[in-house]
Structure 1
Amino acid sequence: MPRHAVVAILVTLSALMLAPDARAQLDARDMEICRQQCMSRARDASDPRYGACVRTRCEGQAPRRAAPSRRAAAPVAPAAPAGQWALDTHDALGVSVHVQTEDGLIGVACAPEGVAIRVTNGMFRAPVLGWITDTGSAGGTIQPTPGAVHSEIRGSACALGVPGLSAATALVLVDVPVVPKGAGQGFGLTLPSGEVTVATGAEVQARFPGTRHVPVLGLAVGLGALAASCPPLAEALRQPCP
């Protein structure tokens, strides 16, 4: 056999032995370094970007492709532009109407006998996360669930004020508990100095620095789409809450 043919065969065998999947198998030390590099590019361990980076860069797996589900699922809207709420399936929030913020995701999902307002844990900057619509149509408090992929508050759509989200133009996030006082009574903000009553999220923004403003573009449409597979939400959107 000609010498150049032998060389060509050896080169081919070497390339096969060093295929991407094989090269990606790292020892324990390099694996930890690789995981740290992935974490530096993500918000936290629940960030889908972190999991995808570890699988493809550190473990040498091919990128995941969603397999078609055999179970009935909520209709999923096309991917929305950044900063716009949309109905979609997310690794952390599940099937939900959610939006990506600079700290994480916040969304609304169907839950047994009601709905859930869910957030990824990167949204927490304090022991609790309070929220009020800019119009004062809804508000409440979410407690963190350490170690979980998300934290949430559950209840009936009316009790959580979800129909009121459609009437707002933004959510205002605060790092203290927000307690609804009742229809027309405003909300109590539990500050270290005591409780302060406010009427709307817009008032909170004006009076207290450090609040976060999350537009609700697309939320009303997304809630309508979610209601197609969530009877408790559909009922709350169909008739006024008591």
Structure 2
Amino acid sequence: MSTRRFIAADTDLTAAFVRVEGDLFRHMVKVLRLKIDTRVNLADGRGTECTGIIKEIGRDHLAIAVEERHAAAPSGGGPRITLIQGLPKGEKMELILQKGTELGVNEVVSFQAERSVSRIAADRRDDRLRRWRRIAEEAARQAGRPDIPAVRLTRGIAEAVRDSDHDLKLLLWEEERATTLKGAMAGRPAPANIAIIVGPEGGLTAAEAETARQAGFASVTLGKRILRTETAGIALLAILQYLYGDLGEGLPSGKGPVSPLTP
């Protein structure tokens, strides 16, 4: 039988015995009904994994005797990708986190756009972030990723782009008429890291787009095709993983110019 693998975020994997509590404990014991002497693999989502055997099951925890500890294998080739997402309505952010994690996004930065319908009160920000991080963790577990995307919530686009130092920075903007996605990427060397900005349902204002451009983002159009906010980032992630990552044949990072959107 293959060793079951779990992501144990915020768990110290450096001890001889690893204590597992909370949701992961309940999943392992109540749902999967794992027993004493079951061999399992744990990953902390930050690059460390360990393999061990369940030696104790209590009322609210289990203990694993570590047999082997090692660095986690990379989650895939290609660039690191940050999705900067204008806060959408309802539960759309959860869908974006789930599918973005499946497609290998490394960081999701949500920002309160001027046209965002949803508003998160200051006293609820921590709770919302905890929920989003749990969703990313669960999506990473189901996708078999050894790492968990970082998730941040910022108050506006200026804060979201302030520290962006990515090789390729793209702004999907419905008001852009001249520069296409294909044109913006033509002739560029394969980037080591990429950031993309997607607005909320109502799009970005001209002032927000200018803030992004001042931070080095190139505004691009997807032509006549109109995508919902929860679709646009996912679609672009798939395109970028095809061009530069491990979706299909992919292209290794830093290996010279590419011809966008060609086999």
Give the TM-score category using the shorter length: under 0.3
Q: Normalization by structure 1: what TM-score?
A: 0.26
| Higher RCO, 1 vs 2 (CA within 8 Å, ≥6 residues apart) | 2
Question: Which structure has the greater CA radius of gyration?
Answer: 1
Q: Normalization by structure 2: what TM-score?
A: 0.25
